[in-house]
Amino acid sequence: MTSESQQSQPSMDLPIIDLDVYLNNPPTSPLVQAECSRAASALITYGALLLHDSRVSEADNDTFLDLLEDYFAQPEEDLKRDERPELSYQIGVTLENTEKPKCAVDEPCLDVIQRLDPSQRPLDISAHSPDPKARFFWRMVELPPYETQFPGLNADNITPDAAHIKERWAPTMNQWGSSMKNAVSKLSEMAALGLGLEADYFSNAGRYGPHLLAPTASDLNKYSSLDTILAGFHTDLNFLTIHGRSRYPGLNIWARNTGSRIPVKIPQGNYLLVQAGKQIEYITGGLIKAGYHEVVVNERTIETIERRKVEFPDRPLVRISSTLFWHLNSDFDLVPVPKLAERADKVREEQARLGRDEGEPARYPPTKVGYQVQDELKHIALMA
């Protein structure tokens, strides 16, 4: 593991935030206040945190990973039936080599890479596009009680047809998806409190959001040589992304205030990883920045492949990432909260004083969440 430990830099270990503290104590208790501040600080400093939630069951994640391995091990003709390009792939399957990492085509993003120390840069994405990863989108949505301006982002779910998958699909997706959705929605309350907002500020704004359970799959029979990019350097377009443990290492994240590459290790048990997306960056005026990340084949990925070949010779060799994109409501007016935008300016000044160049300040003109999403989808080649 590469480590650039300079003294002024925060630790390379992601903070662990305990959701149990929030769930089991009154919101006014000092214990809760302190944990919520830690959650907000973690998002500001790292753009990510590890979340402990006793309600989440590792067995549900395992059942989910087994199902998705079986699904993506099917022949491509079968998977193709679940594709919906006319809906910008926002439901059903996206096959490998469709989605481009935004960074490969985006100037500000290349600028971010330039400003990283060469030893901490992601694998070179300039010659790489699109990503050799497949994905399934399963909506985890509560229908809005009002007419939405963005119905296309709220289409019906698709259940795969294969006999060995069909019956267990919806229950498994919904069980694990709900666990992650509840966890991240509650964490949004902790973050709101920690930022000095009402607890339900974000959770209300996201109640009818087009949340997506979005497992990605990489075929490790084809893509297993060292330094293969499975998902190129990028940020997520939604509010917060939550991940369960993957069976294969390979996810790297970049902490905003360190510029260091951090290989993610989610502890065994009731732990999840949460990362900031573009919508939380927008609403906080850049106080919290969307976190950059990549998924690559590293030495530890290869060791795990070799070990699983021996331990589970009959299982498909597919790396599944257990991911849920938590969104704000499509019709929500997206605009920075003024007091957070002011704090964002102070953090930028402080960073500049410490010699950390954050590049040109991003601008966050008022828009609707639905337009912001459409705009981002055009960048990654999913929408014409």
Cβ proximity to Fe ion: between 236 and 281 the closer is: 236
Residue type, 382: L
Size of the site for Fe ion (CB under 5 A): 1
Minimum CB separation of residue 234 from Fe ion in Å reads 6
* Stretch of residues binding Fe ion (CB under 5 A), selected from 38-46, 92-100, 193-201, 231-239: 231-239
Q: Does 236 bind Fe ion (CB under 5 A)?
A: yes
Tell me the DSSP string of 44-74. HHHSEEEEE-TT--HHHHHHHHHHHHHHHTS
Measured at CB, which residue is nearest to Fe ion?
236
Q: How far is the CB of 293 from Fe ion (least distance, A)?
A: 6
Contact status: 219 vs Fe ion (CB under 5 A)? no
Binding to Fe ion in span 128-147, by CB under 5 A: none
Closer residue to Fe ion in complex, CB, 92/101: 101
281 scored as a contact of Fe ion (CB under 5 A): no
| Residue 325 beta carbon to Fe ion: minimum distance, rounded to whole angstroms | 8
Q: Pseudo-torsion of CA 34, 40, 44, 45, nearest 10°?
A: 40
Q: Is the previous residue joined to 130 through a cis bond, with omega within 30 degrees of 0?
A: yes
Q: Tell me the closest approach of the beta carbon of residue 317 to Fe ion, in angstroms.
A: 22
The one segment of 87-95, 203-211, 229-237, 298-306 that binds Fe ion by CB under 5 A:
229-237
Identify which range of 45-53, 69-77, 138-146, 228-236 contacts Fe ion by CB under 5 A.
228-236
Q: Strand, helix or coil at 350?
A: helix
Q: How far apart are CA 277 and CA 141, in angstroms?
A: 19
Q: How far apart are CA 214 and CA 177, in angstroms?
A: 9
Give the shortest CB-137-to-Fe ion separation in angstroms: 13
Which of these segments, 163-171, 192-200, 234-242, 328-336, binds Fe ion (CB under 5 A)? 234-242
Nearest to 261 by CA among 120, 106, 382, 119: 120
Of the candidate spans 3-11, 232-240, 326-334, 375-383, the one that interacts with Fe ion by CB under 5 A turns out to be 232-240
* Piece in contact with Fe ion (CB under 5 A), picked from 167-175, 236-244, 340-348, 361-369: 236-244
Is 53 or 99 the residue whose CB approaches Fe ion more closely?
A: 99
Round to whole Å and give the CA distance between 298 and 212. 28
Write down the least CB distance from residue 326 to Fe ion, Å: 13
In three-state secondary structure terms, 308 is helix
* Closer CB to Fe ion, 74 or 279, in the complex: 279
Residue pair 83/93 in contact (Cβ under 8 Å)? The answer is: yes
**Residues 332-371 vs Fe ion: string with x where CB under 5 A?**
----------------------------------------
The whole-angstrom separation of Cα 50 and Cα 266 is: 7
294 near Fe ion, rule: CB under 5 A: no
Torsion 82-83-87-89 (CA) sign: positive
Residues 155-184 binding Fe ion (CB under 5 A) are: none
Beta strands in the chain (DSSP E): 16-18, 48-52, 92-94, 134-139, 212-213, 216-219, 229-234, 240-243, 251-254, 261-263, 271-276, 293-296, 318-321, 323-326, 333-334, 367-368
Residues that bind Fe ion (CB under 5 A): 236
